[in-house]
Amino acid sequence: MLEKKHLNSFYDIVGKDNAYDDKAHMIAYSYDATKLRYEPDAVLFPRSEDDVCKILRYCNEHRIVVTPRGAGSGFTGGALPKNGGIVLCFEKHMNKILEIDMDNMLAVVQPGVINMDLQKAASDVGLFYPPDPASQDYTTLGGNVAENAGGMRASKYGITKDYVLALRAVLANGEIIRAGKKTIKDVAGYNLSGILVASEGTLAVITQITLKLIAKPKLTKTAMGIFPSVEDAMNAVYKTFAAGITPVAMEFLDNLTIKAVEQKFQKGLPTDAGALLVTDVDGNLEIDLDMQLKEIEKIFKANGCGDFKIAKDQNEAADLWFARRNASQSITIYGSKKLNEDITVPRSKLPSLLAKIDEVSKKYNLKIPCFGHTGDGNVHTNVMVDASSEKELKIGHEAIVEIFKITVDLGGTLSGEHGIGLSKAPFMNIAFSKQELDLFRSIKRAFDPNNILNPGKMALDDGD
């Protein structure tokens, strides 16, 4: 519990209407999408960067831990106040688009801006902000930067890190740093903005973000391929890119996921199919899109695709995307709890990855439906278990560890977009050597020597 003198100091900094320690706020800011719960001792809503500086300076002096928070939509506990202290929220005040510079094609935003709000504002002036996490309607750009969020368009357009030009951030001692510039090129000094992206609030508190925008494509078309096996579909994925075609999205569902969506929604999906691939292409000329889809169809069919459908309009496109967009909620038919991971491998390793996951499924006698962003090698594996069974939960976690090891052996990574946070921190030693983890920890100490910023995350604390 915070001492009364600390809360009074926070009142002095942000005002009583922006500092709370009542039970309702403690509960509201104690969880995220993981369903884990850790209550803070207070919730603060800074009105400006100056407020952030004063809060961090005070917290650093008094060793009060601080957990920055966006919308709390994360899947790994990155915004959970594991060690109490204060949760620092930007949704109330620091939520403005400060500038859209059409001449230089960039946007300057505060961390509390909703991802979709920037997409719409950019679109209104003919520009495009591509990163589109599934939670884009409510996730904040500050949270996107902290977690390096991805999305379905990542296969062509990349992820959050590919659009961050510059950041303003406040260090644990209250000092402001400027990382990066508005320029396209910048090779002066260390890449501090690159270090802060995906740092999950453990190094500094981001207060302003400069993001690259691009020209908005005029046209988009959608197609679906139906495959007899997951291996055929995965071969088609990497061979499409190797042929020089770069779809906006290339998403897949395996047989278990197809059956689950069909059971729940009765959309007429082919439940005997081994996998589905849904893809989007975009551009400015109809002939270009048609040529891309013709080449994709050719590659798909050369790799076993039995049926290739091209949407005639937006309604048909929505129908083709329905199964993928509803995959996550549908697979709950296989268990009351899903152990959801977002492993990522090089695209050419996708056939091997899915084959080995099938072996894990059989070994542990667990259903593991898979779907996700195969265009960038990012697979959502879902180990389905009975939440009421301690034995099954234990077996499920053993299966996850084995899947992590398989992923790393294939040249992959523990997370493509969800981050590490609390839930994946115990597995960092699978992906990183002792020397690498020690280097991460030395960076943490350089930024935050008193360890007040989001401690307990990413296995960065000494001794983790």
* pLDDT at residue number 464: 59
DSSP per residue, 28-93: HTSB-TT--B---SEEE--SSHHHHHHHHHHHHHHT--EEEESSS--SS-TT--TT-SEEEE-SSS
Q: What is the pLDDT of residue 13?
A: 98
Cα separation, 57 vs 77, whole angstroms: 25
- Which residue segments constitute the domains of the chain, with CATH numbers given? 4-89 (3.30.43.10), 97-215 (3.30.465.10), 219-329 (3.30.70.2190)
pLDDT at 463 (0 to 100): 54
- Residue 1, pLDDT score: 76
The whole-number pLDDT of residue 252 equals: 96
Q: What is the pLDDT of residue 227?
A: 98
Give 278's strand partners.
224, 251
Amino acid at 135: S
Alpha helix (H) ranges present in 303-375? 314-325, 327-330, 350-364
Output the tens digit of pLDDT for each of the chain's 464 residues.
799 999 999 999 999 999 999 999 999 999 998 889 999 999 999 999 999 999 999 999 999 999 999 999 999 999 999 999 999 999 999 999 999 999 999 999 999 999 999 999 999 999 999 999 989 999 999 999 999 999 999 999 999 999 999 999 999 999 999 999 999 999 999 999 999 999 999 999 999 999 999 999 999 999 999 999 999 999 999 999 999 999 999 999 999 999 999 999 999 999 999 999 999 999 999 999 999 999 999 999 999 999 999 999 999 999 999 999 999 999 999 999 999 999 999 999 999 999 999 999 999 999 999 999 999 999 999 999 999 999 999 999 999 999 999 999 999 999 999 999 999 999 999 999 999 999 999 999 999 999 999 999 998 886 55
- Confidence at residue 462, expressed as pLDDT on a 0 to 100 scale: 64
120-177 confidence digits (pLDDT tens): 999 999 999 999 998 999 999 999 999 999 999 999 999 999 999 999 999 999 999 9
- Helix (H) / strand (E) element for 277: namely strand 275-283
